[in-house]
Amino acid sequence: MADSLPTEFDVVIIGTGLPESILAAACSRSGQRVLHLDSRSYYGGNWASFSFSGLLSWLKEYQQNSDIADESTASWQGLIHETEEAITLRKKDETIQHIEVFCYASQDMDDNIEETDALQKNPSSVISSTTTKPLDSACLSEETHSLYATGHELPAKDTPKSDGEISLEVTDVEDTLAKEKYCGDKTCIHTVSDGDKDENKPIEEDNTDQPKRNKITYSQIVKKSRRFNIDLVSKLLYSQGLLIDLLIKSNVSRYAEFKNVTRILAFREGKVEQVPCSRADVFNSKELTMVEKRILMKFLTFCLDYEQHPDQYQAFVQCSFSEYLQTKKLTPNLQHFVLHSIAMTESSCSTIDGLKATKNFLRCLGRFGNTPFLFPLYGQGEIPQCFCRMCAVFGGIYCLRHKVQCLVVDKESGRCKAIIDHLGQRINAKYFIVEDSYLSEETCSNVQYKQISRAVLITDQSILKADSDQQISILVVPPPESGTCAVRVTELCSSTMTCMKDTYLVHLTCSSSKTAREDLESVVKKLFTPFTETEIDKEELTKPRLLWALYFNMRDSSGISRSSYNGLPSNVYVCSGPDCGLGNEHAVKQAETLFQEIFPSEEFCPPPPNPEDIIFDGDDKQPEAPGTNNIIMAKLDSSEGSKNLESPGKHLQN
Amino acid sequence: MHGRLKVKTSEEQAEAKRLEREQKLKLYQSATRTVFQKRQAGELDESVLELTSQILGANPDFATLWNCRREVLQQLEAQKSPEELAALVKTELGFLESCLRVNPKSYGTWHHRCWLLGRLPEPNWARELELCARFLEVDERNFHCWDYRRFVAAQAAVPPAEELAFTDSLITRNFSNYSSWHYRSCLLPQLHPQPDSGPQGRLPEDVLLKELELVQNAFFTDPNDQSAWFYHRWLLGRADPQDALRCLHVSRDEACLTVSLSRPVLVGSGTETLLLTVDKSPLAVEWRTPDGRTRPSHVWLCDLPAASLNDQLPQHTFRVIWTAGDAQKECVLLKGRQEGWCRDSATDEQLFRCELSVEKSTVLQSELESCKELQELEPENKWCLLTIILLMRALDPLLYEKETLQYFQTLKAVDPMRAAYLDDLRSKFLLENSVLKMEYAEVRVLHLGHKDLTVLCHLEQLLLVTHLDLSHNRLRALPPALAALRCLEVLQANDNAIESLDGVTSLPRLQELSLCNNRLWQPTLLQPLASCPRLALLHLQGNPLCQAVGTSEHLAELLPSVNSILT
């Protein structure tokens, strides 16, 4: 990275979370000169995904955060003119709290561990609840390990895709095109079906004939660290949601691949069961009686256009959705399915809100598969990066690890005119977009934040075993008593490219009432059992075992209105961090609203032009301009080639 | 600003598109011309393959070019070495696949593939099955591909069980799939062949029950999906009835023999012949239809020579053999009797238990229960209502008559678009019930008054009826098939909307005909009546033609033999 950046921009964006990245893409696409900065060393802010060791480093950083000494302000004070004043930005991130890590997998030391950085770290809060018998476990794990490691050479996501996969992807595109009329020429969402993907995955030992469960040790997890892509936020894409629409419209979808969530689960009477929600599910369900099938289908069909039948719900507008469901002849299991797994609402939610949520779920069905959700391969953290890439393609400049000291405000006009970065460089711009975690305590003194409780688990089995072990499931566990929050559980299999083979990555999310562990531990205990070397009773054996667990609270700034911040100039705009919801609607809405505020006459992320329609100003005499086109396409290709983009901007700068 | 991205305007884009299209059209037309010239000149070589592949690649529905390709390939077959030929076939298969990707529903392309595979000495059927699976993965309802799959499966002798499992997998994905259900209906009888004596094309009860459960799952999930209901109907349906002679009637007066068959045939065409023996010696006769038209008919008749009807013997035995149907029937005319007959009773043969039945009534009964349960949940589902009606008819048409009529009323209300069809269906069922009642009563008089009938059917079952009352219905015609009622003496059809009398023709015994209050608006409509030799009394009051001047004279002229015509 060059030491000095250009000093004139139209828009400076600080923070690379989802709303900032969408804004960056939108601004750059509409012809603005964009500088996109992040003080962190990775993209995405609290929307990021990490490899396992990356996550450990991230945790370490938070634990060391408090040690950072405040740098002297003198270095930049001199750059502020008399007619100006400075608004300092926050030096350290305070959005993550109450981190607790538990390791249950056996931590034998016999293995040759490469990721020293991760292992050396032994944070004080790590509690190993497993009492390992060193000899025993060492022997056992060595045995399983040697079995396991064979044919496991393919490195994680940096591997260039094989030709085979690419051509399969193309067929997928055609399929999607055939089914989805709305798609433009190239715009479409790549959904990868299981069959396609499996062919390209490394062939590993088939352990199915082995009755014993695979033992995954901690060192294996560390060794396969790069197989993991652990999201800080756990979200899914509604297939008719704003984010999907935006990805398609803007053609940013070309940078990502998705898988359909395969199962909607419910937790009822201590058991996990699959919820039939699509027509095919209901038809194939063995659990529902014929009449239940009809009643469920009838209710769901009604919900799809409930507005057309006010007579059916008008009388219950004052009631809660759960009371309303009781009047619809639905059997208790069907009521549970609709309330918790389809509408995914709290019992207390109103009839109208419940119907709205149900409708939203249902209208997403069938667009890309039999469930309404898509999950991005390699994790949710891909999505902000995709938008950054789009921004870079249209000329945006990217700098990570680039701190901003302060915003410079012109006293007379009251407008912000520049930033001063950690190198003391002054960069001028017309508009400034700041992620709220960068705002200083002073600016935020009046703000009340909510919190999100999160848990990340690595487990050895799925919470509901099925024919295929490659399932992506979502489950809402209703609160045991009213007043507390329902917990949303997302279970990802290894073919989502977020965890190593024979493990599952489980995300738990709810809005906080206490610390994350206090909020979530009871659900974790219901669904899982800690891994131990010793024999345990049979009932416990049926549950998946916990290998590793992380709890933390994340600040939820989504509901904060701009007016709560003190003394922000009118041309400084604030983006919030992740919200607690399942979809990404809040981030997309926020980005679009801010964009329209800044550039009321510009279109928000219009489809990019076809390469053959691109001509260059001043080249009127040769409108074909084949050479230049190729360059643009080449740049697109090269940026697509590497998934782990250090700085997408580089490709255009050199 | 120099060097910044600029996008073509929409006019520029449109112009570029237009030029591109023009260019394409030119190429297309010139290639087509060249191919036709070469074909005419008999130059069937590889260059034709190349040219046609360019055009077909873009438009696989150009059937003539596929023919052209077949001609070339046939020609090359004779000229090339086996190795060259194999290479040629390989390219052809690859080309066909690329055409199918352009249009997976192109008749010409699938047909060409069939043709090509059929000519190969060692076709690779496994690959073809895989191709079908792939195309059905993309569109599970592509019936072209289903057709081709059946062809391949038959050629490759794929076990029906495997194919059945394949239909299972597609129905699981989306049960709105006629092709898949239909294929099941072909495969299941193959998998579970019935003993020779049993009705062919039917399933053993355990299999039937499993299929019924599957299909019930479908229509409980989505009762508006027709494909499941059609399969349900097939499951409960009966096989085509065996060919049979239903009735044989001999009349001494008219010197005429009438025969009624179980299906309409065109006697004298091809293998359809009726042989008559009188007292065991064959007799050559001319067969004709009652209404004189040469078209497939249930009823055929012939004139008998006086010799075969003489009163010297105590009896004459008439036997008709239907060669194609492998059926025969015999009847006896006793000395001193005017007529003799032999017939199958509708009551014995359960002729009218519509398309359903043959299965044990317990199966039908439980299906009826399920459908009624569904109907309670979906009171307005037409498929469910119709199925209930059919099941009730199959179980016991007379017992359920009243209920059936109520269901018809509901059905008409929820499906007004098909009101006329439902009226006709209802008429058919009511007529069947009346025939049953008549036969139980062992009379030759049929009362069909006040039944809201809109159509007359099963008239071939009424060969022996002497008195027929059709008054107070909604009939608009007395159809040609009515001419089958050779014994009819009195016909009452007052208070209908009759405008046509085509069927009242050549009825040898008709004496009295009442047509009051109908829509006969001019005397010439009564022309057919002139062929009824014994017609003596004709009631025409309340018809439009009565208003016209000179009608009586006109009618007298038209029907000179009718004694009294009341207008």
Can you tell me the mean pLDDT for B123-127?
91
Provide the token pair at A188: 């479409």
Residue A136 has pLDDT above 70, yes or no: no
Of A643 and A573, more confident: A573
In a domain, residue B218? The reply is no
Choose, out of B1, B4, B6, the residue to mutate when testing the contact with A (most A CBs < 10 Å): B6
State whether residue B87 sits within 8 Å of chain A by CB: no
Give residue B319's pLDDT.
94
**Position A626 confidence tier, pLDDT thresholds 50, 70, 90:** very low
State whether residue B373 sits within 8 Å of chain A by CB: yes
| Chain-chain contact of A294 with B175 (C-beta, under 8 angstroms) | no
Chain B residue numbers with beta carbons less than 8 Å from the beta carbon of A282 are: 221
Nearest chain B Cα distance for residue A272, angstroms: 23
If asked whether residues B156 and B258 sit together in one domain, one would say: no
Whether residue A440 contacts residue A429, with contact meaning beta carbons closer than 8 Å, is answered with: no
| Chain-chain contact of B4 with A613 (C-beta, under 8 angstroms) | no
Residue of B nearest to A285 (CA): B217
Q: Where are the alpha helices (DSSP H) in A276-411?
A: 279-284, 290-304, 321-326, 332-336, 351-364, 382-393
Residue of A nearest to B103 (CA): A178
Give residue A149's pLDDT.
32
If asked whether residues B365 and B314 sit together in one domain, one would say: no
Neighbour count for residue A40 (Cβ, 10 Å):
18
Residue A384 has pLDDT above 80, yes or no: yes
**Position B45 confidence tier, pLDDT thresholds 50, 70, 90:** confident
Find, among A620, A602, A598, A624, the residue nearest to A611 by Cα: A624
Give residue A214's pLDDT.
62
If asked whether residues B364 and B500 sit together in one domain, one would say: no
Residue A94 has pLDDT above 70, yes or no: yes
> Which secondary-structure segment (H or E) carries B150?
helix B143-155
The total number of structural domains that make up chain B: 4
pLDDT tens profile A449-488: 999 999 999 999 999 988 888 999 999 998 877 667 899 9
If asked whether residues B57 and B127 sit together in one domain, one would say: yes
State whether residue A280 sits within 8 Å of chain B by CB: yes
Q: Please give the C-alpha separations between residue B565 and each of A541, B501, B527, B534, B562, in angstroms, as whole numbers.
A: 98, 16, 14, 14, 7
Residue A339 has pLDDT above 80, yes or no: yes
Of A476 and B14, more confident: A476
In a domain, residue B23? The reply is yes
If asked whether residues B99 and B125 sit together in one domain, one would say: yes
Give residue B360's pLDDT.
62
Give the contacts of B108 (CB within 8 A, at least 6 positions apart): B60, B61, B62, B63, B66
The CATH number covering residue B186 comes to 1.25.40.120
What's B388's DSSP letter? H
If asked whether residues B337 and B365 sit together in one domain, one would say: no
Chain A residue numbers with beta carbons less than 8 Å from the beta carbon of B2 are: 617-618
Give residue B355's pLDDT.
47
SS (H, E, C) B411-446: HHHHCHHHHHHHHHHHHHHHHHHHHHHHHHHCCCEE
State whether residue A175 sits within 8 Å of chain B by CB: yes
Residue A433 has pLDDT above 80, yes or no: yes
If asked whether residues B158 and B26 sit together in one domain, one would say: yes
Average the pLDDT over each of B3-12, B177-186, B232-241, B317-326 and give the range with the smallest value.
B3-12
Highest mean pLDDT among A83-87, A244-248, B232-236: A244-248
* CA quadruple B384, B389, B393, B394: dihedral, nearest 10: 0
Nearest to A617 among B4, B173, B221 (CB): B4
Give residue A600's pLDDT.
94
If asked whether residues B177 and B315 sit together in one domain, one would say: no
Q: Which of residues 370-409 of A touch B (CB under 8 A)?
A: 394
Nearest to A294 among B6, B101, B220 (CB): B220
Average pLDDT for chain A: 78
| Chain-chain contact of A279 with B7 (C-beta, under 8 angstroms) | no
Give residue B7's pLDDT.
66
Give residue A458's pLDDT.
95
Neighbour count for residue B248 (Cβ, 10 Å):
22
Residue A407 has pLDDT above 60, yes or no: yes
Chain B residue numbers with beta carbons less than 8 Å from the beta carbon of A297 are: 220-222
Chain B residue numbers with beta carbons less than 8 Å from the beta carbon of A178 are: 138-139
- Cα B33 from chain centroid? 44
| Chain-chain contact of A283 with B172 (C-beta, under 8 angstroms) | yes
| Chain-chain contact of B377 with A295 (C-beta, under 8 angstroms) | yes
Last residue of some domain: B165, B192, B219? B192
Residue B358 has pLDDT above 60, yes or no: no
Residue A187 has pLDDT above 60, yes or no: no
Residue A152 has pLDDT above 60, yes or no: no
Residue A206 has pLDDT above 60, yes or no: no
Give residue A317's pLDDT.
86
Nearest chain B Cα distance for residue A282, angstroms: 6
Average the pLDDT over each of A3-7, A43-47, A415-419, B420-424 and give the range with the smallest value.
A3-7
Of A633 and B556, more confident: B556
- Structural domain including B277 reads 246-343
Nearest chain A Cα distance for residue B410, angstroms: 20
Average the pLDDT over each of A469-478, B156-165, B343-352, B483-492 and give the range with the smallest value.
B343-352
Give the contacts of A226 (CB within 8 A, at least 6 positions apart): A51, A52, A155, A156, A157
Of A358 and A154, more confident: A358
Distance CA A17, CA B492 (A): 88
In a domain, residue B234? The reply is no
State whether residue A282 sits within 8 Å of chain B by CB: yes
Chain B residue numbers with beta carbons less than 8 Å from the beta carbon of A612 are: 16
| Chain-chain contact of A618 with B217 (C-beta, under 8 angstroms) | no
State whether residue B5 sits within 8 Å of chain A by CB: yes
Can you tell me the mean pLDDT for B37-61?
88
If asked whether residues B336 and B382 sit together in one domain, one would say: no
Nearest to A294 among B4, B101, B374 (CB): B374
Give residue A534's pLDDT.
63
**Position A35 confidence tier, pLDDT thresholds 50, 70, 90:** very high
Whether residue B246 contacts residue B344, with contact meaning beta carbons closer than 8 Å, is answered with: yes
Assign domain A281-364 to its CATH superfamily.
Answer: Guanine Nucleotide Dissociation Inhibitor, domain 1 (1.10.405.10)
Distance CA A418, CA A426 (A): 6
Residue A184 has pLDDT above 50, yes or no: no
Last residue of some domain: B314, B343, B372? B343
pLDDT tens profile A62-75: 877 555 555 555 56
In a domain, residue B202? The reply is no
Can you tell me the mean pLDDT for A133-144?
35
In a domain, residue B384? The reply is yes
The CATH number covering residue B494 comes to 3.80.10.10
| Chain-chain contact of A293 with B175 (C-beta, under 8 angstroms) | no
Give the three-state DSSP class for A62.
Answer: helix
Last residue of some domain: B343, B373, B401? B343
Can you tell me the mean pLDDT for B177-204?
81
**Which residue is listed with tokens 């005909």?**
B513
Residue A133 has pLDDT above 50, yes or no: no
pLDDT tens profile B514-536: 999 999 999 999 999 999 999 99
Q: Is B21 left (phi over 0), alpha (psi -120 to 50) or beta?
A: alpha
If asked whether residues B338 and B376 sit together in one domain, one would say: no
Report the b/e string of B426-443 with b at 16+ CB within 10 A. Answer: bbbbbbbbbbbebbeeee
**Position A427 confidence tier, pLDDT thresholds 50, 70, 90:** very high
Chain B residue numbers with beta carbons less than 8 Å from the beta carbon of A293 are: 217, 220-221
pLDDT tens profile B251-303: 998 899 999 998 899 988 777 789 999 988 999 899 999 988 889 999 999 99
> Which secondary-structure segment (H or E) carries A550?
strand A545-556
**Position A523 confidence tier, pLDDT thresholds 50, 70, 90:** very high
**Position B364 confidence tier, pLDDT thresholds 50, 70, 90:** confident
Choose, out of A179, A260, A294, the residue to mutate when testing the contact with B (most B CBs < 10 Å): A294
Can you tell me the mean pLDDT for A534-550?
76
Nearest to B173 among A280, A614, A617 (CB): A280
Average pLDDT for chain B: 88
Give residue B6's pLDDT.
61
Can you tell me the mean pLDDT for B405-418?
94
Can you tell me the mean pLDDT for A274-295?
88
State whether residue B223 sits within 8 Å of chain A by CB: yes
Residue of B nearest to A610 (CA): B7
Residue of A nearest to B374 (CA): A291
Q: Which of residues 181-220 of B touch A (CB under 8 A)?
A: 216-218, 220
Q: Where are the alpha helices (DSSP H) in A122-211?
A: 134-149, 163-179, 194-200
For Cα atoms A484, A486, A488, give the angle at the middle one, nearest 5 degrees. Answer: 145
What's A443's DSSP letter? T
Residue B516 main-chain phi, psi, to 5 deg: -65, 150
| Chain-chain contact of A291 with B220 (C-beta, under 8 angstroms) | yes
Can you tell me the mean pLDDT for B116-138?
90
CATH for the stretch A8-92+378-447+559-598: 3.50.50.60
Neighbour count for residue A396 (Cβ, 10 Å):
28
Nearest to A609 among B7, B222, B374 (CB): B7
Residue A609 has pLDDT above 90, yes or no: no
**Which residue is listed with tokens 């799952």?**
B217
If asked whether residues B332 and B364 sit together in one domain, one would say: no
Q: Which of residues 601-620 of A touch B (CB under 8 A)?
A: 609, 612-618
If asked whether residues B105 and B177 sit together in one domain, one would say: yes
Q: Which of residues 416-475 of B touch A (CB under 8 A)?
A: none
Can you tell me the mean pLDDT for B158-171?
92
Nearest chain A Cα distance for residue B370, angstroms: 9
State whether residue A287 sits within 8 Å of chain B by CB: no
The count of C-alpha atoms lying within 13 angstroms of the C-alpha of A80, restricted to the half-sphere facing its C-beta, is 22
Whether residue B224 contacts residue A297, with contact meaning beta carbons closer than 8 Å, is answered with: no
Distance CA B46, CA A83 (A): 84
Residue of B nearest to A301 (CA): B222
**Which residue is listed with tokens 């848990």?**
A455
Domain assignments of chain A as residue spans, ordered by start? 8-92+378-447+559-598, 281-364
